[in-house]
Amino acid sequence: MAFSKKEEFTKDDVWLADIAKAISHPARIRILKMLTSMSTCMVGNIVEKLPLSQSTVSQHLKELKRVGLIEGEIDGPKVCYCVNNKTMAKAKKEMDKLYSIICNC
């Protein structure tokens, strides 16, 4: 049986890897771009702009929400999503630190 080795890494490294995994799909990147340009967006609006089914878009939204990159607010029978600027700023800061170490820049 395989065991997780996550406890061998720093909390920040595990968190950043989780963020990277969450944005590792082109649909999720597109969703983040859409939400940034629109401020808030209903699932239906997102589905209209992507070549994916509603259930697939919902799964992508669920993953982005799980890591905190987006927030969802229930508005009657619909959910309105927006970018979580606090988490996005933290992710950018951590990515910048990572790239400065990797690139020596």
pLDDT at 40 over 80: no
Q: What share of the chain is helix, strand, coil (3-state, %, to 5)?
A: 65, 15, 20
Q: What is the mean pLDDT of residues 5-21?
A: 90
Task: Give 53-97 pLDDT, tens digit per residue.
Answer: 999 999 999 999 999 999 998 877 888 999 999 999 999 999 999
Q: Write the DSSP string, 65-105.
A: HHTTSEEEEEETTEEEEEE-HHHHHHHHHHHHHHHHHHHT-
For the CA atoms of 55, 68, 78, 33, the dihedral, rounded to the nearest 10 degrees, stands at -80
Per-residue pLDDT at 2 exceeds 70: no
**Residue 42: predicted pLDDT:** 84
CA 65 to chain centre: 6
Q: What is the mean pLDDT of residues 4-18?
A: 86
Q: Is residue 8 very low, low, confident or very high in pLDDT (cuts 50, 70, 90)? A: confident
Domain locations along the chain: 9-103
CATH 3.40.50.10860 fits 9-103, yes or no: no
pLDDT-derived band at 11, boundaries 50, 70, 90: very high
Given this model, what pLDDT does residue 13 score? Answer: 93
